[in-house]
């Protein structure tokens, strides 16, 4: 698919767009089955809630062919390459499930870590979010500051050793301070990113975002494929591969049936 001029303009101005219902119910069922299989992994790639239930798996495309196919799906690759004007590689992927009273995600920029820790030079990358559930105001949608990507790297950010997951991914995450968040929201506002199941979010990696606790009984299962232009790679290799890429090969599109081929 090709984005319209209006969609491109919205992405440039706001920092993200949502493409509603891009993936079919059959494709979603393949991805949901893959997600729950991968979330049972025993390794360090899976982070868990206090009750032991999984809430995130990092590097999903490294462990499952179905997620490998997702990263090369033409429905996603075409608009991403159009926005970036280049081929891309996967810098990071993950499964994120928000169940009732689960974890929150503090305010941050993905590029805050990708630049400071992984060495990615510029914010020429996109966080692709695939909605496997309806995402609504009631089940802890991603909240984002429109236009915040135009500020580049937000310098008033710190690694907070008091957050619950500091011993895992958060020890590399630069959280935006409350003072900076107030200034950004006063200047730009704050929006919830919603859409029906099957929708795809394309967000500039420098957009400030976060999410609150899901106090509803409504599950929110999202997949993320974070890509960057092939000439915008980082090579510090401080983080394990499930957090940051070692494979910089450009993604090449598969056929339109690359996911449905895995359906029972």
* pLDDT tens digits along 188-244: 999 999 999 999 999 999 999 999 999 999 999 999 999 999 999 998 999 999 999
Q: Look at residue 161 in the predicted model and tell me its pLDDT.
A: 60
| Mean pLDDT (whole number) for 23-37 | 98
> Rounded distance, CA 25 to CA 198, Å?
7
Q: Look at residue 256 in the predicted model and tell me its pLDDT.
A: 97
Question: Tokens 């997600």 appear where?
Answer: 35
Closest CA to 230 of 244, 217, 247: 247
> Rounded distance, CA 58 to CA 49, Å?
15
> Rounded distance, CA 77 to CA 253, Å?
7
pTM confidence score = 0.94
> Rounded distance, CA 17 to CA 19, Å?
7
Task: Considering only the C-alpha atoms of the chain, give the largest distance between any 2 of them, rounded to a whole number of Å.
Answer: 51
Residue spans of the domains in the chain: they are 5-254
Q: Look at residue 135 in the predicted model and tell me its pLDDT.
A: 98
CA atoms within 13 Å, Cβ hemisphere of 28: 18
> Rounded distance, CA 217 to CA 244, Å?
32
At residue 156 the predicted structure's pLDDT band, cuts being 50, 70 and 90, is low
CATH class entry, domain 5-254: mainly beta
């Amino acid at each position: 698919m090709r984005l319209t001029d209006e969609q491109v303009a919205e992405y440039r101005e706001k920092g993200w767009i949502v493409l509603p219902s891009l993936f079919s119910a059959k494709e979603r069922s393949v991805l949901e089955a893959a997600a729950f299989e991968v979330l049972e992994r025993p390794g360090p790639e899976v982070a868990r809630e206090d009750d032991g239930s999984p809430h995130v798996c990092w590097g999903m495309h490294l462990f499952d062919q179905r997620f490998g196919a997702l990263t090369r799906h033409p429905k996603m690759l075409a608009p991403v390459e159009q926005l970036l004007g280049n081929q891309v590689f996967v810098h990071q992927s993950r499964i994120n499930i928000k169940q009732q009273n689960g974890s929150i995600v503090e305010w941050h920029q993905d590029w805050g870590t990708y630049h400071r820790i992984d060495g990615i030079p510029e914010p020429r990358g996109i966080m692709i979010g695939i909605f496997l559930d309806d995402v609504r105001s009631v089940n802890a949608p991603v909240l984002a500051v429109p236009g915040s990507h135009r500020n580049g790297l937000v310098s008033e950010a710190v690694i907070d050793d008091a957050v619950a997951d500091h011993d895992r991914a958060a020890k590399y995450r630069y959280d935006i301070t409350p003072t900076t968040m107030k200034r950004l929201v006063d200047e730009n506002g704050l929006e919830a990113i919603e859409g029906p199941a099957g929708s795809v979010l394309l967000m500039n990696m420098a957009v400030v975002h976060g999410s609150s606790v899901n106090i509803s009984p409504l599950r929110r299962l999202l997949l993320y494929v974070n890509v960057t232009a092939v000439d915008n790679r980082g090579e510090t290799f401080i983080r394990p591969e499930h957090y940051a890429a070692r494979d910089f090969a450009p993604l090449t599109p598969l056929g339109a049936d690359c996911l449905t081929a895995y359906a029972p």
